[in-house]
Structure 1
Amino acid sequence: MPTVLIVDDTLFMRVKVGNMLKEWGFEIVGEASNGKEAVELYKQLQPDLVIMDVTMPIMSGLDAVKEILPQYPNANIIMLSALDQQKIIVEAIEAGAKDFITKPFEQNHLKMIVDNIFD
C-alpha cells in the first residue's frame, strides 16, 4: 500500500484529500500544516507521495519542495494551490514537483495525476 504525506494549512483540505487517497488505496502516514513540518516529516517517513499546498504559514510549499528534492530526488510531490499563478506553477515544476493542481479541483483530475505517477 503506497504511503502519503498530506500538507495543507487547512484541516478541511487535509481531510478531504486524505479521504480521496484512502479510497484509492493509499495509507496516510502523516499530515503537516506548513512547509517546515512537511520537510521534517518527509525525512522521518519518506512517503511514496506528498500532496502539498503552496501557500502556508512559516514555510511555503514551494520552499519545502526546494528543501526536500535536493536530498530526495525521487520524491513524488504534487502541489495544490488556490492561486492560479503561472509563475508558482512553473517554479514548482522546475524545483522538481511532479505536477500541480489548482483548488477547487475535481476528484477525477487528482486521481488522473496520482495514477500517472504510479503507472
Structure 2
Amino acid sequence: MEKTDKIKLVVADDAPFIREIIRQIAKGDESLVLVGEAQDGEDVIEVVSCTRPDVILMDIVMPKKNGIEATKIILEKYPKIKVIAFSTLDDESMLLKALDAGCCNYLKKPFDAQSVKKIIYNSILGESA
C-alpha cells in the first residue's frame, strides 16, 4: 500500500448499528474508505474475496461462522490483510483465540471513533494496541 492510497476497510458485525458507526467513522476520515460490509462470518469471507481490503474490523460473535473461524479462512487465502477483532465479551480466552487465529489487534465494544481510527492506523503500521 502506498502512502497516498486510502486504507480499504471491511466491517463484519451482525449488529446494523455497529456497521453504521464504522461507516460514519470512515466517512469522516479522508484516509479511510469502507469497501464492504458483512453481517455474518460466511458473508465476510465472500465480501473480502470481492473487495480485497487492507483491514477487516471483525466481530468475534456472529451467526453462521464466528469471527475467529472467518479470520482463519480469510488469512489462509489473504495473509496480508490486517484483521482487528472486536467484541462486547470481556473474556481473555476469547482474546487469545482471536490472536491465535491471526488477528493483529483487539478492540472492546463499546468504542469511540478515535479508538477505532487509532487501532486501524496502528495495525497498518504493524503495531499492537
Superposition deviation, residue 59 in structure 1: 0.9
Superposition deviation, residue 31 in structure 1: 0.6
Partner SS state of residue 109, structure 1: helix
**Alpha-carbon displacement from aligned partner over 1:32-89 (angstroms, at most 9, x marks no partner):** 0001000111111111111111111111111100111111111111111011111111
Indicate which of 15, 21, 39 corresponds to 1:16: 21
Paired letter, 1:97: C
Superposition deviation, residue 99 in structure 1: 0.4
State whether structure 2 residue 45 is matched by structure 1 residue 39. Answer: yes
Superposition deviation, residue 21 in structure 1: 2.2
Displaced runs of 4 or more, over 4 A: none
Partner SS state of residue 107, structure 2: strand
Could you tell me which residue of structure 1 aligns to residue 107 of structure 2?
Answer: 101
Distance in 1 between the 2:102 and 2:29 partners?
A: 24
Paired letter, 1:19: Q
Paired letter, 2:22: V
Superposition deviation, residue 118 in structure 1: 2.8
User: TM-score scaled to structure 2, two decimals?
Assistant: 0.86
Paired letter, 2:50: Q
Gaps of 5+ in 1: none
Superposition deviation, residue 30 in structure 1: 0.9
Could you tell me which residue of structure 1 aligns to residue 91 of structure 2?
Answer: 85
Distance in 2 between the 1:109 and 1:29 partners?
A: 20
| Aligned-pair identity (%) | 31
Could you tell me which residue of structure 2 aligns to residue 59 of structure 1?
Answer: 65
Superposition deviation, residue 27 in structure 1: 1.4
Gaps of 5+ in 2: 1-5
Aligned residue pairs, count: 119
Partner SS state of residue 28, structure 1: strand
User: TM-score scaled to structure 1, two decimals?
Assistant: 0.93
